[in-house]
C-alpha cells in the first residue's frame, strides 16, 4: 500500500482545536500556523465558531485570513455551514428562508477562498436543489455531511440521493464524516460514563453489544428493566448514535464524495485511533480514487476534559503521523514535536 499512487491530501478542521479556542488558549492564527506546521495544508473553518461578528466579520478579518494562508502555506479547503431552521420562535423557516441562509454561507465560503461547503445534516434536499446552481456559479461544491447515525441507506440520505442523481449538478455531493466507521466503542466515552457514575455491568453490556454488532436499539429497554440510572441510560442512547459501516460503502458514492471529515476520538500512544480503523478506511479511499483532503476532526475533548487538560494539538499531530504512514508519505512529524511550540506552553501533552 505504501507505494500505491494516490492524490489524497492532508488537512485539518479547526473544529479539532475547539477546546483551546473556546478557552482562548489558541487564536485563529495559532490554528492556521499549527496546521501549516504539520503539513495539514488544507484548512477547514467553521465560520460560526471562528469568525467574531459572523456573518459580517468585517474586511479586516478577511485580510488577516488571506495573509495567514499566504504566510503559513495553507489553503482554505472547506467551510462548515449551519442552518438554523428554528431561528424564529414557534415556527420553522420556510424553504425560501433556508435558501437565503445557505446562499449567505456560500458567499462567505467564496470570500474565504474555499472549494467545499459542509451542508449540515438538517439541510433539506429541496434546499440543496435550490442552491445548486448558485453554488456552481461561485465555483463551490455544497456537500451534505453524512454523520453518524446517518448512512447511505438512511431515509433522509435517500431523499438527498434522489436530488443529486436527478440534478446531476457538479455542485452537489457528500462530505462523509469518518465517525460513521466506528468499529469499536470509543474508550474515552465508556470511561467517562464510569467516572460519571455508570456501573460497570451497564457499560460493559453497552460496549459488548456495540462491538458485537448487537441490537443497540434494544439497550434502552434492557437498561430500563435493569434499573439504569440517567448516566447509564445516556450510554444506551449514545450506543445508537455510533455506527459501524463497512468503509467500502463509500465506493459506490465516490463520484459524489469530494471532502472527508476525519473524525477521531482518541489517538493512542501507539499511533492508532482507538475506535475508527483508518488502516481499513484509507485503502478504500485510495482504491476509489479519492483525491481530496482528509480533514482532521478531533472530538475527544468533551469526553476527557473532566480529568485532564485537553491537548488537541498533540492529538491532531498523532493523527497526521498516522495519515503519513497510511498514505505512504515520508514521516516528518516526530513524536514529541509538540514540545517545540511555545504557544501551547500551558497545554498538557499527556492526553491519555
Partner 1 sequence: MFDKYIIVEDTLRNTGDDDDVTGFQLGVRLPYYRGLGLSMVEDIEVTIDGETSSSASVSLTVHGNTYKLTDLPGVFDDRWEMGEVATVSVDKAGGLTEGPHSVAVRQRLRISYMPVPGGGTDHKTLTLRH
* Interaction site with partner 1 (CB under 8 A): 15, 18, 21-24, 46, 48-50, 52, 54, 82-89, 120-122, 220-221, 224-225, 301-302, 305-306
Residue closer to a copy of itself (CB basis): 240 or 341: 240
* Helix, coil or strand: residue 183: coil
Residue closer to partner 1 (CB basis): 56 or 166: 56
**Angle in degrees, 0-180, between the axes of helices 187-195 and 230-241, rounded to the nearest 10:** 170
Strand order in the sheet with 172-176: 172-176, 141-146, 116-119, 75-80, 42-45, 9-13, 293-298, 260-264
Residue closer to a copy of itself (CB basis): 209 or 295: 209
Separation CA 148–CA 61 (nearest Å): 33
Residue closer to partner 1 (CB basis): 225 or 350: 225
At closest approach, how far in Å is the CB of 48 from partner 1?
Answer: 4
21 binds, among a copy of itself, partner 1, Mn ion, none (CB under 5 to 8 A by kind): partner 1
Q: Spell 254-272 as b/e; 16+ CB within 10 A means b.
A: bebbbbbbbbbbbbeeeeb
Interacting stretch for a copy of itself, rule CB under 8 A, among 145-153, 184-192, 277-285, 339-347? Answer: 145-153
Separation CA 260–CA 290 (nearest Å): 10
Q: Which three cell numbers stand for residue 305?
A: 476534559
Residue 156 found at the interface with a copy of itself (CB under 8 A)? yes
Separation CA 120–CA 330 (nearest Å): 35
261 binds, among partner 1, a copy of itself, Mn ion, none (CB under 5 to 8 A by kind): Mn ion
Residue 218 found at the interface with a copy of itself (CB under 8 A)? yes
Calculated CA dihedral for residues 275, 238, 311, 306, nearest 10 degrees: -130
Interacting stretch for a copy of itself, rule CB under 8 A, among 121-129, 131-139, 245-253, 287-295? Answer: 121-129
Separation CA 162–CA 128 (nearest Å): 11
177 binds, among partner 1, Mn ion, a copy of itself, none (CB under 5 to 8 A by kind): Mn ion
Residue 214 found at the interface with a copy of itself (CB under 8 A)? yes
Residue numbers at the binding site for Mn ion (CB under 5 A): 177, 261, 297
At closest approach, how far in Å is the CB of 261 from partner 1?
Answer: 14
Residue 225 found at the interface with a copy of itself (CB under 8 A)? yes
Minimal CA–CA distance to 313: which of 10, 47, 3, 14?
14
Among 154, 280, 325, 352, binds a copy of itself (CB under 8 A): 154
Instruction: Look up cell 498523532; give the residue.
Output: 318
Based on its alpha-carbon atoms, the radius of gyration of the chain, rounded to whole angstroms, reads 20
From residue 59, how far is each of 46, 54, 65, 120, 274 by CA, in Å? 18, 12, 10, 26, 42
- Per-residue binder mask for a copy of itself (CB under 8 A), 157-196, x = binder: -xx-------------------------------------
Residue 84 found at the interface with a copy of itself (CB under 8 A)? no
* Helix, coil or strand: residue 291: coil
Among 209, 275, 296, 301, binds a copy of itself (CB under 8 A): 209
Separation CA 205–CA 207 (nearest Å): 6
Residue closer to partner 1 (CB basis): 101 or 319: 101
308 binds, among partner 1, Mn ion, a copy of itself, none (CB under 5 to 8 A by kind): none
Inter-residue contact 143 to 109 (CB < 8 Å):
no
22 binds, among a copy of itself, Mn ion, partner 1, none (CB under 5 to 8 A by kind): partner 1
For a copy of itself, the binding residues (CB under 8 A) are 85, 92, 121-122, 124, 149-151, 153-156, 158-159, 205, 209, 214-215, 217-219, 221-222, 225-227, 240
Amino acid at each position: 500500500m505504501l507505494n500505491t499512487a494516490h492524490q489524497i491530501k492532508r488537512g485539518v478542521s479547526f473544529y479539532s482545536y475547539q477546546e483551546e479556542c473556546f478557552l482562548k488558549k489558541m487564536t485563529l492564527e495559532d490554528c492556521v500556523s499549527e496546521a501549516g506546521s504539520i503539513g495539514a495544508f488544507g484548512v477547514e473553518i467553521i465560520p460560526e465558531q471562528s469568525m467574531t461578528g459572523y456573518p459580517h466579520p468585517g474586511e479586516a478579518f478577511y485580510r488577516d485570513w488571506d495573509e495567514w494562508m499566504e504566510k503559513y502555506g495553507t489553503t482554505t479547503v472547506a467551510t462548515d455551514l449551519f442552518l438554523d431552521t428554528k431561528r424564529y420562535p414557534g415556527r420553522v423557516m420556510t424553504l425560501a428562508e433556508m435558501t437565503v441562509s445557505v446562499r449567505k454561507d456560500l458567499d462567505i465560503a467564496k470570500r474565504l477562498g474555499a472549494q467545499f461547503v459542509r451542508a449540515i445534516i438538517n439541510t433539506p434536499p429541496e434546499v440543496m436543489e435550490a442552491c445548486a446552481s448558485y453554488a456552481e456559479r461561485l465555483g463551490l461544491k455544497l456537500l451534505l455531511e453524512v454523520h453518524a447515525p446517518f448512512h447511505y441507506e438512511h431515509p433522509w440520505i435517500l431523499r438527498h440521493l434522489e436530488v443529486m442523481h436527478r440534478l446531476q449538478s457538479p455542485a452537489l455531493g457528500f462530505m462523509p464524516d469518518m465517525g460513521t466507521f466506528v468499529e469499536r466503542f470509543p474508550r474515552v466515552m465508556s470511561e467517562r460514563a464510569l467516572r460519571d457514575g455508570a456501573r460497570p455491568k451497564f457499560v460493559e453490556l453497552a460496549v459488548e453489544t456495540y462491538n458485537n454488532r448487537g441490537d443497540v436499539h434494544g439497550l434502552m429497554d434492557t437498561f430500563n428493566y435493569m434499573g439504569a440510572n440517567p448516566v447509564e441510560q445516556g450510554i444506551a442512547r449514545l450506543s445508537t448514535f455510533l455506527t459501524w459501516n463497512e468503509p467500502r460503502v463509500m465506493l459506490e458514492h465516490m463520484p459524489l464524495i469530494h471532502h472527508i471529515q476525519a473524525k477521531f476520538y482518541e489517538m493512542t500512544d501507539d499511533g492508532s485511533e482507538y475506535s475508527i480503523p483508518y488502516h481499513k478506511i484509507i485503502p478504500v479511499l485510495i482504491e476509489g480514487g479519492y483525491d481530496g483532503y482528509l480533514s482532521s476532526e478531533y472530538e475527544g475533548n468533551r469526553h476527557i476534559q473532566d480529568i485532564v487538560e485537553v491537548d488537541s494539538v498533540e492529538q491532531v499531530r498523532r493523527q497526521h503521523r498516522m495519515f503519513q504512514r497510511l498514505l505512504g508519505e515520508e514521516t516528518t512529524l516526530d513524536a514529541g514535536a509538540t514540545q517545540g511550540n511555545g504557544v501551547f506552553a500551558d497545554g498538557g501533552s499527556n492526553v491519555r
